[in-house]
Amino acid sequence: DVVMTQSPLSLPVTLGQPASISCNSSQSLLYSDGNTYLNWFQQRPGQSPRRLIYKVSNRDSGVPDRFSGSGSGTDFTLKISRVEAEDVGVYFCMQATHWPPFTFGQGTKLEI
Q: Which of residues 78-97 bind other proteins (CB under 8 A)?
A: 92, 94, 96
Shortest spacing between CB 108 and other proteins, in angstroms? 10
**Residues touching other proteins: how many (CB under 8 A)?**
22
Shortest spacing between CB 94 and other proteins, in angstroms? 7
Length of the chain equals 112
50 belongs to the binding site for other proteins (CB under 8 A):
yes
Shortest spacing between CB 82 and other proteins, in angstroms? 26
